[in-house]
Amino acid sequence: MRRHRHAKIVATLGPASSTPEMIEKLFLAGVDNFRLNFSHGSHEDHHACYNIIRSIEKAYNRPLGIIADLQGPKLRVGMFGEKEILLQSGNYFRLDLNPEAGDEKRVCLPHPEIFSALEEGTDLLLDDGKLRLRVGSFGKDYAITQVITGGILSNRKGVNVPHVALPISPLTEKDRRDLDFVMGIGVDWIALSFVQRPEDVEELRGLVGKKAGIISKLEKPMAMTYLEDIIRLSDAVMVARGDLGVEMAPEEVPSAQKKIIKSCRAIGRPVIVATQMLDSMVHTPVPTRAEASDVATAIYDGVDAVMLSAESASGTYPIESVTMMNRIIECVEQDPLYRSMLITSHTEAEATPSDAITAAARQVAHTLSSKVIATLTNSGSTTLRAARERPMASILGLTPNLATARRLTLVWGTHPVVIEESGSINETFKRASEIVQQEGFAETGDEVVITAAAAQLQKSGPFMVFKTGSTRLLRIMKIGDD
């Protein structure tokens, strides 16, 4: 079940893709990670999908990553007496905490934290940005706004406050219940929605620790102010272009996406590009040329993964969507321009032993025309540093830790395999060379580059290979040699 591509595919499960037969077909079509979207579905639904994924993982002896995507705080207006109203451009409209049904002059906005963060001239976006209000006067429980862009406003439509850091936790009470559930069953990643500040990631880290990786979803322009700090605190990052495209001008989103990707690659964090990548395939069996180009652009930029949302969760063509995404990735990665763009965008290694070794491994593999770099890792750090280099060779992530192997399914160019620990470093390297052959990465006589965080247990004692720490060992092995 080796994938012949570097970038990974994430697919969201939902009503169109929740049966054992459909999830297996998605996996066989190319899915490396499955996303459980907690904005929809019950715990029972998600638990059933979790069990199906784990059974497929066992049947095919291939680690699979599972992402639990928390809903996050949803800001919405209240209810109207007539279910919907028409907001006329130029008119004034009041938002307040009064729970009574709204009309053409006012409506409840049951979020006091918004009023506390307002300033004169602040813009409020309603219904995914279709309507725009501008704040004039305001108090602790109301705001008088002028309608800049009018239209129909109906019950419970969403509210966005761009370029304002709202004093709210990224975790609602629902999120905390969902978090308890997913930590109980054992997912691999927790996706945190609407990250604004580094403190948001730290709040989740305090609850999760190292039991799961944290994916920070960047969908608020405010997050761009703290971009590098958020990336360093996260285990991975998602460019969530849905809400980002609501609060940013459409023409600003592509440059924000490229900035996020560049920063993630420089720091060495996996980065996912998501939202509407093949959106027309929700209803049609082929994408638009613009959508195919959108996926390809992300791959040329060197992202770790691209994601399907409604296409695989509720669309008519989930298998075709995954197949198409797989085809686009493979086509791009065979283009000589792809390799030259990765080289051009390569970030210099940091002055650390880990980066020195992994940079050397990439160069050695290139010089020897090695087909694979085998990384021996416990936490995954050694493999992540190898992937940061974006080598021409494939990366074989060998780990005794199944949880680490599952997380590595999100990492560019990495084929994770669970390997048993050995008391001898030579025995471990011999076993690594056997797996290289078994997994189809090299043949007898080929040179293989191996990196590890090996350390001596005692001054004159044996080596411990799967050590959590900095990568300090590089070895070249010829397949077939003892």
Q: Which residue has the tokens 């927790």?
A: 190
Residue 78 lies in a domain: no
**What is the mean predicted confidence (pLDDT) over 186-193?**
98
Residue 288 sits in the same domain as residue 186: yes
Q: What would the pLDDT profile of 277-286 be if each residue is shown by its tens digit?
A: 999 999 999 9
Distance CA 367, CA 289 (A): 38
Residue 342 lies in a domain: no
**pLDDT value at 86 more than 80:** yes
Output the pLDDT for position 73.
Answer: 92
**pLDDT value at 263 more than 60:** yes
Residue 241 lies in a domain: yes
Of 149, 142, 145, 118, which is closest to residue 134 (Cα–Cα)? Answer: 145
Output the pLDDT for position 468.
Answer: 65
C-alpha separations of 199 from 176, 233, 361, 394 in Å:
17, 9, 36, 36
Q: Which amino acid is at 203?
A: E
Residue 380 sits in the same domain as residue 242: no
Choosing from 305, 334, 363, the residue where a domain stops is 334
Q: What would the pLDDT profile of 123-160 be if each residue is shown by its tens digit?
A: 999 998 999 999 999 999 999 999 999 999 999 999 99
Output the pLDDT for position 461.
Answer: 47
**Signed CA dihedral, 219, 225, 231, 234: sign only:** negative
**pLDDT value at 460 more than 60:** no
Residue 376 sits in the same domain as residue 433: yes
Output the pLDDT for position 350.
Answer: 85
Residue 344 lies in a domain: no
**pLDDT value at 463 more than 60:** no
Residue 343 lies in a domain: no
Output the pLDDT for position 457.
Answer: 39
Q: What is the CATH number of the domain that holds 130?
A: 2.40.33.10
What percent of the chain is modeled with pLDDT above 70? 96
Residues 241, 274 contacting (CB under 8 angstroms)? yes
**pLDDT value at 465 more than 70:** no
Output the pLDDT for position 429.
Answer: 87
**pLDDT value at 469 more than 80:** no
DSSP-derived letter for residue 250 is G
C-alpha separations of 370 from 8, 52, 299, 443, 447 in Å:
22, 37, 23, 11, 6
Choosing from 125, 141, 160, the residue where a domain stops is 160
Output the pLDDT for position 458.
Answer: 40
Choosing from 132, 160, 188, the residue where a domain stops is 160
- Where are the extended beta strands (E) located within 275-420? 305-308, 372-376, 394-399, 414-418
Q: Which of 41-45, 313-317, 324-328, 466-470 has the lowest mean pLDDT?
A: 466-470
Residues 171, 204 contacting (CB under 8 angstroms)? yes
Number of domains in the chain: 3
Distance CA 199, CA 222 (A): 13
Output the pLDDT for position 456.
Answer: 41
**pLDDT value at 466 more than 50:** yes
Q: What is the 3-state secondary structure (H, E, C) of 289-311?
A: HHHHHHHHHHHHCCCCEEEECHH
Residue 218 sits in the same domain as residue 285: yes
**pLDDT value at 423 more than 80:** no
Residue 187 lies in a domain: yes
Residue 183 sits in the same domain as residue 312: yes
Q: How does residue 351 score in pLDDT terms, banded at 50, 70 and 90?
A: confident
Residue 214 sits in the same domain as residue 239: yes
Residue 180 sits in the same domain as residue 220: yes
Residue 392 lies in a domain: yes
**What is the mean predicted confidence (pLDDT) over 244-264?**
93
Residues 183, 211 contacting (CB under 8 angstroms)? yes
**pLDDT value at 197 more than 80:** yes
Residue 339 lies in a domain: no
Residue 237 sits in the same domain as residue 367: no
The CA angle 175-181-185, to the nearest 5 degrees, is 140
Residue 307 sits in the same domain as residue 429: no
Residue 407 sits in the same domain as residue 446: yes
Q: What is the CATH number of the domain that holds 446?
A: 3.40.1380.20
Q: How does residue 482 score in pLDDT terms, banded at 50, 70 and 90?
A: low
DSSP-derived letter for residue 174 is H
Residue partners of 186: CB distance under 8 A and separation at least 6 = none
Q: How does residue 347 score in pLDDT terms, banded at 50, 70 and 90?
A: confident
Q: What is the CATH number of the domain that holds 199?
A: 3.20.20.60
**DSSP alpha helix (H) spans, 88-132:** 112-117
Residue 435 sits in the same domain as residue 398: yes
**What is the mean predicted confidence (pLDDT) over 32-61?**
97
What is the rounded average pLDDT for all residues in the chain?
A: 94
Range of the domain at 456: 353-478
Q: Tell me the Ramachandran region of residue 207: left when phi exceeds 0, alpha when psi lies from -120 to 50, beta otherwise.
A: alpha
Residue 222 sits in the same domain as residue 250: yes
The residue ranking higher by pLDDT, 422 or 323, is 323
